[in-house]
Amino acid sequence: MELLLLADPSEDKIRSYLSGSRCFVASSGAVVVGACVVQPRGKDTVELMSIAVHPAHQKSGYGTALLKWVIDFYRNAGVRQLEVGTGTFGYQLAFYQRHGFRVTSIDRDFFVKNYPEPIFEDGIQLFDMLRLALRYPGHVD
């Protein structure tokens, strides 16, 4: 939970999607340093609900290794599409796009409508959520 709160400030929201999700962790020796939660969405789509690495271990490659592992896991599982929602700016957007995620839509005012307090990153208020998807090759829409 401590890790997941880094990616989503609402514990209630995290708890609401934890059951029914699969949780992946990255560890350094016996210490869990990163976590990623993925939820099924229909027949052949899954959504990455959260990914976080402990601040003391960020920028060391754990997040990239964890994301790659999750992408490969669902490719091998035969999933058609891995989705994620994120803010409209910041390094997280590049983090996903680097791995092949493409923007599919904008959920306007998502962060205002779904959280009781305004959320700021780098001093900028988050309003809209970008929806991204990684489409695995080999599937016919």
> Would you tell me which residues interact with ligand COA (CB under 6 A)?
6-7, 51-53, 58-64, 86, 91-92, 95
**Between residues 78 and 118, which has the closer beta carbon with respect to ligand COA?**
118
Q: Least distance (Å) from ligand COA to the CB of residue 138? A: 27
Hey, which residues does 86 pair with through a beta bridge?
Answer: 130
Residue of closest CB approach to ligand COA: 63
Buried b (16+ CB within 10 A) or exposed e, 35-60: bbbbbeeeeebbbbbbbbbbeeeeee
CB-nearer residue toward ligand COA: 79 or 87: 87
DSSP state of 68: H
Q: Report the distance separating Cα 122 and Cα 92, nearest Å.
A: 12
Least Å distance, CB 64 to ligand COA, is: 3
In whole angstroms, how close is the CB of 30 to ligand COA at the nearest point? 18
